[in-house]
Amino acid sequence: MTNDETLKDRLSQVSAQGTPALRSFARWLLDNLSLVAFSSIRGLAKQAGVNPNTVTRMAKELGYTSFDAFRTDVQATIQTPAPNYGARAQTLRHEHRDSAFAALMEAHGENTAMLFSADILDTLNACIDPLLGARKVYVVGVRSCYAIAHYFSYVGGMAFSNFVDVPTLPGGIVDVLSQATSEDIIVGITYEHYAAEVVQACQIAQSRGARVLALTDSHASPIAVGAWKVVPLPMAGPHFLPSLNSAFLAVEMLLVGMAARSDDAAERVSSFEDRIRQYGGYDF
Question: Is the backbone peptide bond immediately before 193 cis, with ω within 30 degrees of 0?
Answer: yes
Phi–psi pair at 3, nearest 5 degrees: -60, -35
Write out the residue limits of the CATH 3.40.50.10490 domain(s) in the chain. 112-278
Strands 211-216 and 185-190, by their bridges, are: parallel
Residue type, position 220, single letter: A
Write out the residue limits of the CATH 1.10.10.10 domain(s) in the chain. 3-77
Maximum C-alpha span of the chain: 69
The model's pLDDT over 158-214, given as tens digits with 9 standing for 90+, comes to: 999 999 999 888 789 999 999 999 999 999 999 988 999 999 999 999 999 999 999
pTM (predicted TM-score)? 0.74
Q: What is the per-residue pLDDT for 83? A: 59
d(CA 96, CA 82): 22
Mean pLDDT, rounded, for 135-153 = 97
Least confident of 25-29, 124-128, 268-272: 25-29
The model's pLDDT over 18-36, given as tens digits with 9 standing for 90+, comes to: 899 999 999 999 888 878 8
Interior CA angle at 230 toward 225 and 231, to 5°?
A: 145
Q: CB neighbours of 162 closer than 8 A, spacing ≥ 6?
A: 134, 135, 136, 137
Give the residue, 80 or 53, on which the prediction is more confident: 53
Helix orientation angle between 52-61 and 41-48, rounded to the nearest 10 degrees: 100
Q: SS3 for 8?
A: helix
> What is the CATH T-level fold of the domain 3-77, as seen in this structure?
Arc Repressor Mutant, subunit A (1.10.10)
pLDDT at 1 over 50: no
Return the CATH architecture of domain 112-278: 3-Layer(aba) Sandwich (3.40)
The model's pLDDT over 176-189, given as tens digits with 9 standing for 90+, comes to: 999 999 999 999 99
Task: Label residues 221-231 b or e (16+ Cβ within 10 Å = b).
Answer: bbbbbebbbbb
